[in-house]
Amino acid sequence: MSETPSQISNLETAITDQLAAAQEQLDDLRQQLTESQRLATIGTIAAVIAHEFNNLLTPIVSYSQFALQSAQGESPDLELIKKALSKAFQSSSKAGKICQSMLGLARGECSVGVVPVQKIIDEVLLVMARDPQKDGVALRVQVQPDLMIHGDGVQLEQVLLNLLINARQAMLGRGGSLTIKASLNEAGDEVKLQVIDTGPGIPEKLQTKIFEPFFTTKGTARRGEPKGTGLGLSICKEIVERHNGRIEVASEVGKGTTFTIHFPAALAAAT
Ligand SMILES: Nc1ncnc2c1ncn2[C@@H]1O[C@H](COP(=O)(O)OP(=O)(O)O)[C@@H](O)[C@H]1O
Ligand SMILES: [Mg+2]
């Protein structure tokens, strides 16, 4: 038995109505998902800000202690006090900027511009808590001149800072070498930024896990060693991907670890 034209038309209307209802439900669900993702982001943001602050508070506390000790001593060393205060000032200014930038990241904002790679490296080395040499780590910096990335300078600095802190923690007590490399690929459209350490390496089965938020192997740290939050690399990944880049790890147990980030290269004129 075949349907009459009016039956077909009724059927069509019913299907269209059902489709519209399903679409509406889907839209609702999507909105709920977006909202819960936003809440989850805001939930993590507190932990992230605490983590990033902790990175910068360490030098602030130790430099202020230096300055205080010297000031209270028999013959205060004004040069040392000045240097310690200026280091503490640099770190606290950076902490303020990072706070704003992280809140921006939570809101999905990015204050973008063209950032010279050399500047990112210089700024990060400036706020590194301790001279790596003091821990028996030889620091090498190999940067091609005039490399530019399009993005948020403060966030890009956070990526490098987190990678350097991890590398330094990995080599704590054993020394080694830490290399920062930056170069342009042959096609001239990608900037490759690498942090290379000669630490203990990362077992292969953990290499996919390390970018997950809260994954850390530093939970049961020995006394005196830093505890982990497991947020550093997840922040790096989030920021790199927001900059249309990608981050990779190559590591061999007993030899060391290399983190490589590829960013689209920016032209100096394209602000
Ligand atoms: N350079 C490195 N060498 C060895 N292991 C590393 C290195 N960088 C990261 N890891 C591993 O990845 C884990 C996650 O790193 P991260 O997200 O920065 O969190 P956290 O440093 O707080 O543990 C670390 O706990 C460590 O096991
Ligand atoms: Mg870390």
Q: What is the pLDDT of residue 248?
A: 97
The CA 151 to ligand 1 mean position distance, Å, reads 25
What pairing do the DSSP bridges indicate for beta strands 256-264 and 113-116?
Answer: unpaired
The CA 82 to ligand 2 mean position distance, Å, reads 30
Q: Give the three-state DSSP class for 258.
A: strand
Q: What is the pLDDT of residue 110?
A: 63
Say how far apart CA 42 and CA 127 lie, in whole Å: 27
Closest residue CA from atom 2 of ligand 1: 167
Q: What is the pLDDT of residue 251?
A: 98
Pocket-forming residues, ligand 1, beta carbon under 6 Å: 162, 166-167, 170, 197, 199-200, 202, 210, 215-218, 228-234, 257
The CA 211 to ligand 1 mean position distance, Å, reads 9
CA nearest neighbour of 268 among 99, 118, 123: 118
> Could you tell me if 53 and 99 are in contact, meaning their C-beta atoms sit under 8 angstroms apart?
yes
Q: What is the pLDDT of residue 224?
A: 55
Ligand number nearest CA of 249 is 1
Q: What is the pLDDT of residue 69?
A: 93
The CA 48 to ligand 2 mean position distance, Å, reads 11
Closest residue CA from atom 12 of ligand 1: 210
Q: What is the pLDDT of residue 134?
A: 75
Task: List phi, psi (to 5°) of 227.
Answer: -90, 155
Q: 11 CB contacts (<8 Å, ≥6 apart)? A: 3
Predicted TM-score of the model (pTM):
0.73
The CA 245 to ligand 1 mean position distance, Å, reads 20
Closest residue CA from atom 8 of ligand 1: 166
Nearest atom within ligand 1 for CA of residue 201: 4
CA nearest neighbour of 154 among 196, 109, 94, 108: 94
DSSP state of 189: S
Regions of the chain with pLDDT less than 50 = 221, 270-271
Nearest atom within ligand 1 for CA of residue 227: 22
